[in-house]
Amino acid sequence: MPQLAKEISRHVGIPLVRADIGKFSNGETRVEILDSVRGADVFIIQSTCPPVNDNVMELLLTMDALRRASANSINLMVPYFGYAKQDKKKTGREPISAKVMADMMENAGAARLVTIDLHAQQIEGFFDVPVDNLSAIYLFADFFRKKKMENTVVVAPDAGGVKRARDLANTLQASRIAIIDKYRPDWRKADAMNVIGKVEGMNAIIIDDFIDTGGSIVEAVKAVKNHKAEKVWVACTHPVLTEPATERLKQLNDAGEVEGFVFTDTVPIQKEKMLKNYEILSVAPMLADTVERIARGFSLHPYKTNGGKQ
């Protein structure tokens, strides 16, 4: 994630370590660290987003190179943690892939993990090193405050997102939340069954941690619109947007169902996937503030948009 890393570097005021990362002719990942890191506390910025396995391998090999170059500590900043949905066994014979990820990162030398809006909080327990799970709630709250929206309801697209919805509602000082009763017949498809809570005549903000293929969000938007919500916004931290997400979100736009989509830059969106009503909020100031606090041995507080000050 070179652009996000550059922004964090600019905020911290420390230049990026030069690295040569690419592929050998046989497709294997090649990593070489070009600057000395001996005795340094190193922070690696890498989301394990698509192409997931390539990004994971880059991360692990970079960690190994830094460890062999005598870095004092290796701190992982993984804004989007891949494989997070695979945090438990759903059938009899399948892996707990998030635990495998944790083991690989620790075995490669991670001293700490910093991530944002981890899909399943229990993944923190898969690590034996400190895990800082940051939240993008204050970024979203600041964005919607500037809209000066009234009569607002925050909507969780499923029962698992209730805490996130309540946190945003509390931060916005909006008293109402609603919940989509979602049924998933299998892992490929989610059906929105009902809306629990009042959305009629209200401005609805649907908040989720990520959008993958877009199926759940489409069903959530349809559900709140069917229950006569006035206007609908969609906010999510990680715009993974695997196909057919772009086409699905474009159809919502073309039908006038959504006022806009608000994402962060934890996952870079390719230019061909951008739509005109996407708003991208940068997590660079929040991550830069986290780097400075960790480096100085300060505690981490919920980041607020006034420069991280409380």
* Residue numbers in the chain where pLDDT is lower than 70: 183-193, 303-310
Q: What percent of the chain has pLDDT over 70?
A: 94
- Whether the bond between 51 and the residue before it is cis, its omega within 30 degrees of 0, is yes
> What does the pLDDT read at residue 4?
96
pTM for the structure as a whole: 0.92
pLDDT at 236: 97
What is the separation of C-alpha 243 from the centre of its chain, rounded to a whole number of angstroms? 18
Query: Six-digit token pair at 20?
Result: 């040569």
For domain 137-281, give the CATH number: 3.40.50.2020
Longest C-alpha distance within the chain, in Å?
61
**What distance in Å separates the CA atoms of residue 149 and residue 129, rounded to the nearest whole number?**
41
In the chain, CATH 3.40.50.2020 sits at 2-135+284-296, 137-281
Per the annotation, the verdict on 182 as an active-site residue is: yes
Catalytic, out of 182, 189, 228, 309: 182
Task: Give 89-142 pLDDT, tens digit per residue.
Answer: 988 899 999 999 999 999 999 999 999 999 999 999 999 999 999 999 999 999
Residue 8: closest CA among 237, 294, 297, 282:
282
**How high is the pLDDT of residue 188?**
60
Contact 305, 142 (CB under 8 A): yes
Instruction: Write out the two tokens for 173.
Output: 């000082």
In CATH terms, 2-135+284-296 corresponds, of 3.40.50.150, 3.40.50.2020, 1.10.10.10, 3.40.50.1110, to 3.40.50.2020
Q: How many Å apart are CA 98 and CA 84, to the nearest integer?
A: 5
Pairing of strands 29-33, 19-23: antiparallel
Position 179, amino acid: I
